[in-house]
Amino acid sequence: MQKWLYRFFIELTNHRLSSALLRKFSQSRVSAILIPSYAKIYNINQAEMEKNLSDFVTLHDLFVRQLKIDSRRIDSNENTVISPVDAVIEETGMITTNKEMIVKNKHYSIQEMLGDEDSLAKYIGGTFVILYLSPSHYHRIHSPISGVIKKQWELGLKSYPVNRLGLKYGKDPLSKNYRKITEIRANNSYVAVVKVGAMFVNSIETTHRSDIVKKGEEIAYFSFGSTVILLFEKDRFTISPEISSSINIKMGEVLGTLN
Active site residues: 86, 142, 226
3-state DSSP helix/strand/coil percent for the chain, to nearest 5? Answer: 30, 30, 40
Contacts of 103 (CB under 8 A, 6+ apart): 90, 91, 93, 130, 167, 174
Q: What are the φ and ψ backbone dihedral angles of 82, each rounded to 5 degrees?
A: -100, 160
Cα dihedral 29, 34, 40, 44 sign: negative
Which conformational region is residue 173 in: left (phi greater than 0), alpha (psi within -120 to 50 degrees), or beta? Answer: alpha
Burial 249-259 (b: 16+ CB within 10 A, else e): bebbbbbbebe
Distance CA 131, CA 196 (A): 10
